[in-house]
Amino acid sequence: MDRRYLLKNSLALGATMGFGGCAATPPPAPQQMPPAKPVSTVPFMDRVPPLALVRAHTDRLFDIKVCLRPFRTKGPNLDVEQIGDTMVVHNYGHGGSGWSLSWGSADMAVQKALSGSPKQIAVIGSGIIGLTSAITAQRAGAQVTIYTRELLPRTRSVRANGSWTPDSRISLAAEAPANFGDTWEKMARMSWKNLRPYLGRAGNPVAFCDHYRLSDTPPGQPVPVDPNIPPLPAPSWTGLPTQSADFGRYDDRIADLTPKPEVLTPDNNPFPVKYASRTSQMFFNFTEYGHLLTSEFFERGGKIVMRDFHSPSELAHLPEKVVINCPGFAARDWWKDKAMMPVRGQTGWLIPQPEVNYAMTYRNVQMLSKSDGIMVIALEYGDMKGYNNSDESVNRAEAERAVRVIEELNSRFKPT
Amino acid sequence: MRNKWILVLMACAAATGARAGTWDGVYTDAQAERGHAAYMQNCGRCHGADLSGTFEIPPLVGRFMPYWSGSSLDVLFDYISTAMPLGRPGSLSPATNADILAFILKSNNFPSGAKELSADGLKAIRFDAVKPAKPRTKKNAGSQ
C-alpha cells in the first residue's frame, strides 16, 4: 500500500465524517479500507478539518441579550464642541461597528483631546468606545477618569455580536459626509493594528475562526425568509433607509486585510448543503477582552466614578476640562442628537462548547462559537431588521427559531 | 451677629419664594395610584413591578437615587417625557408622566401631600435624596 494513498484516504474519511476525527487515530488496516474514491484535488492545507457539531437545542439557550446599536445616520460623531470652559470631543454613534472601529476612533478622539496638552482627561461612558478611548489617552500620558453609569458586563456594548464587522450599520450612504470613507478606512486600519497584540493571549480575548457560509441555492441569490417569521413592521420614519443598500458600505477599501471567500468544492464540503464557502472571521471574547482592557485602565492609574449625566452643561462642572464623550445610544436623549437611531439586535447564547471552533451562516441564521457561549443570531431582512426599534425586551421565539435552523441542519449530518 | 445673618437668609428665601423639595409632600396618594396603573401599563414590563429593573434595565429605586437626585424634578420629568417608554419614546401625555413620576416618588419613600404634582413648575421642586435638615428658627438658633 502506497503511504501517500493511505494518508490521503484517511484524511478524506475524516473530512467526510465531519466530526470526531483526530490526528492521533491510527490509520485503518488495509483490509478495512473502503473502496477507493476519486482523490480530491483540494490541496491538503485547504481541506476542511474535522468539525464538531453544535448541540443546537432550544433548551440549551442559557442567555438571550438585546442591544440597541448606536446607529447615527451621518456616521459617528467625532466633532469637537465647547461647553463653557470645557472642550468636549465626541466619540459616539458607531452602529454595529463599535467593537471593530473602537481603537481607530479612540485614536482620532485622543489626538483632538490632546491638542491643548491637558494632564487630566475625562471620558464619559465605559462601553468599548469609552474604554479604548480612556486607554489610548493613558498611553499618550494623560491621567484619565471615566464617568459612567454602567460597567462591563452591564454596558450595552456587551450585548453586541462582537465580531469584526467594521462597516455594519455605520452610516446611511446618502447622509454621511463626503470624506467619511477616508475617515472610516483610517479608523478601520488603525483598529486592526491595535487589535493585533490581543491575538494569541491566554483566554483568547481576540481570535480568528473559519466562517462557513452555507446555502441551498447558488451563491448570490437571495435567501428566502422563513414564512413563519413576522414581516417587518411598516417604517415609523420618513425617508431613508428603505432598503439595506441605503447603508454605507466601505469594506472594499480594506479588502487587502482579510482572505477572499473560498468556495468549497463538493469533495471539500462536509456540510449537508449544496453550496458552501469559507472565510476567516475575527471576533471578540467579551469576558477576557473586557477584563484585559479594564485591568490596563486601572494599572495605568485610571479612576472610575459612577454617575449619570442629564444635561450637556453638567460637563462644565467636571474638574477635567477636556472630555471625550462616549455615551453610545444615550447620546440620543442626552445630546438630543436627532441623527441617532436605535437598531435593535438580539443574540441567543447556547452553552459553550470549546470543541466547536468555527462560525456558520445558513438560512439567515449565524452561529459563532465563543469562549463564553455559542452565539446564534437571526439575520433575516438584512440591515433593515430592527431599524428604529428601541424595544430592549427579549424575544425568545426569535432566538428559538434561530436555534432550530441549526438543529435541523445538524440533524442531517450522517456519520459514515 | 449669626442670628442676624439667619434672619437675612430667611427673608431672602421668603422674597424669592422658597423652593419646595421632594420631602415636602409634592404629590397626592390618589395621583400615585393613577401613576401605579400607568406605570404597570407602560413601564413595568422592563423596569419590573417592584421597580428593581433587570441585569440590563436600570432600576428606579436604590442606585436610581444618586443618579437622579441633586437637581430639580424637571430633569427627571423631561427625560421620562422624551426618552420613555424606550420602545415608543414621548408617547405619553404630560399628565400621565406626572402621575408616573408621583408613583416613582412614592416608591422611593417620599411622603405624599395635599397637592398633585403638575407637569408645570417642576423646576421649582428640588429632588433631594436625603431629607434636608430643618432650617433653624430664631428660637432654636438662639438656644444653641
pLDDT in tens, A225-235: 999 999 999 99
Task: Quote the minimal CA–CA distance from A394 to chain B in Å.
Answer: 10
Distance between CA A320 and CA A309 in Å, rounded? 15
Residue of B nearest to A149 (CA): B67
Residue B83 forms contact with A (CB below 8 Å): yes
Residue A324 forms contact with B (CB below 8 Å): no
Residue of B nearest to A343 (CA): B87
**Amino acid A264: pLDDT:** 97
Confidence of residue B10 (pLDDT cuts 50, 70, 90): very low
| Cβ atoms of A247 and A169 closer than 8 Å | yes
Q: Taking 80 as the threshold, does the pLDDT of residue A26 lie above it?
A: no
Contacting residues for A26 by C-beta, under 8 A, at least 6 apart: none
Grid cell 458586563 is found at: A153
Question: A333 and B79 in contact by Cβ < 8 A?
Answer: yes
Residue of B nearest to A334 (CA): B79
Percentage of residues in chain A having pLDDT higher than 90 = 87
Select from B75, B76, B86 the Cβ nearest to the Cβ of A391.
Answer: B86
Q: Which three cell numbers stand for residue B30?
A: 390618589
Distance between CA A362 and CA A406 in Å, rounded? 8
Q: Taking 80 as the threshold, does the pLDDT of residue A9 lie above it?
A: no
Q: Which three cell numbers stand for residue A246?
A: 441605503
**Class of residue B25 by CB neighbours under 10 A (exposed 0-12, middle 13-18, buried 19+):** middle
Number of A/B CB contacts below 8 angstroms equals 38
**Amino acid A239: pLDDT:** 93
Question: A390 and B86 in contact by Cβ < 8 A?
Answer: yes
Select from B45, B67, B79 the Cβ nearest to the Cβ of A307.
Answer: B67
Residue A66 forms contact with B (CB below 8 Å): yes
Residue A149 forms contact with B (CB below 8 Å): yes
Q: Taking 70 as the threshold, does the pLDDT of residue A66 lie above it?
A: yes
Grid cell 401613576 is found at: B35
Residue A62 forms contact with B (CB below 8 Å): no
Mean of pLDDT over chain A: 92
Q: Which of A6-20, A76-90, A221-235, B33-47 has the lowest mean pLDDT?
A: A6-20
Select from A149, A310, A392 the Cβ nearest to the Cβ of B71.
Answer: A310
Task: Quote the minimal CA–CA distance from A63 to chain B in Å.
Answer: 12
Confidence of residue A40 (pLDDT cuts 50, 70, 90): confident
Whether the predicted interface score ipTM is above 0.95: no
Task: Quote the minimal CA–CA distance from B59 to chain A in Å.
Answer: 12
